[in-house]
Amino acid sequence: MNSSLASIKIKQRLSKLDSQDARNLKDFSIEEAVNKAALSWLRRNKHGGNPDREADEVTTQRVDDLQFLLKQDKLSIGNNGPYAETSRLPDDYLYLKRVTPMCTKGVCVYVPLRSHLAEEANVDDLLMNYDTQPSFDFEETFHTLIGNKIRVYHNHDFTIVDVKLIYYRKPLFIHFVDKSKTSDTWEWKDDVAELIIDEAAKILASDIESLNQVALAEKRVTQNN
């Protein structure tokens, strides 16, 4: 799929392909609708807001749909009291997937520990509880997200060297206005690209108050999701 073909499909779904009204559907409007549709589709399926309630890794289909957006990065850290705080999250960061702190204690060097996401409000309780406080011996700890940074807690039991981050990145922007980029192949799978086109058509139909086209686009998005 590329933007030139997508533009034709969107106008076709809006019954404007052979009409003079097609001239009134500007490229910047299509561009805004398509990129909004891509983010909406991603957010909905990441959290399981689809009809089957399938979140991002519940089924192989969702894995296939979203795996290309998963990305790994290594974050540097600075120690501060009972935790180590990473550098700022990457610019293309969208959703958290996994945090793995690489830790050292005594002769044990660069050991990965299990770390689970905790609520910032519960940090004090987790640190005071023997069963939940960070432990190098039990190879587990916890982390929180705050200020676009990750705090991984060690409670002075071990040293955190760096943090491996797995996250969903932002989708690449889809161009319609910049004609030099409209022929670029979309990164989305073709079947997902079709769903994004249907979603964009729904947004545009709503903007121009074409209720019949809204209903048809909504039906396609729901049935094929």
Same-domain status, 82 and 135: yes
Same-domain status, 21 and 40: yes
Same-domain status, 10 and 37: yes
Token couple for 28: 């910047």
Same-domain status, 52 and 81: no
The whole domain housing 151 covers: 67-169
Same-domain status, 106 and 187: no
What is the structure's pLDDT at 51?
66
Quick check: is 105 in a domain? yes
Quick check: is 174 in a domain? no
- DSSP letter, residue 143: E
At 132 the three-state DSSP class reads coil
Last residue in a domain, options 169, 192, 210 = 169
Q: State how far the Cα of 3 lies from the Cα of 122, in Å rounded to an integer.
A: 47
Instruction: Check: CB of residue 171 under 8 Å from CB of residue 38.
Output: yes
Last residue in a domain, options 126, 147, 169 = 169
- Each residue's pLDDT, cut to its tens digit, for the chain (225 residues) gives 999 999 999 988 887 655 555 557 889 999 999 999 999 999 988 887 666 677 778 889 889 999 999 999 999 998 888 999 999 999 999 999 999 999 999 999 999 999 999 999 999 999 999 999 999 999 999 999 999 999 999 999 999 999 999 999 999 999 999 988 888 899 999 999 999 999 998 888 876 655 555 555 565 555 455
Quick check: is 37 in a domain? yes
Instruction: Report the domain count for the chain.
Output: 2
pTM for this entry:
0.84
Token couple for 20: 């003079």
Quick check: is 176 in a domain? no
Same-domain status, 113 and 51: no
Q: State how far the Cα of 161 lies from the Cα of 143, in Å rounded to an integer.
A: 15
Quick check: is 175 in a domain? no
Same-domain status, 71 and 160: yes
Instruction: Check: CB of residue 101 under 8 Å from CB of residue 84.
Output: yes
Quick check: is 131 in a domain? yes
Same-domain status, 56 and 74: no
What is the structure's pLDDT at 59?
86
Same-domain status, 41 and 85: no
What is the structure's pLDDT at 131?
92
Quick check: is 177 in a domain? no
Q: State how far the Cα of 111 lies from the Cα of 152, in Å rounded to an integer.
A: 14
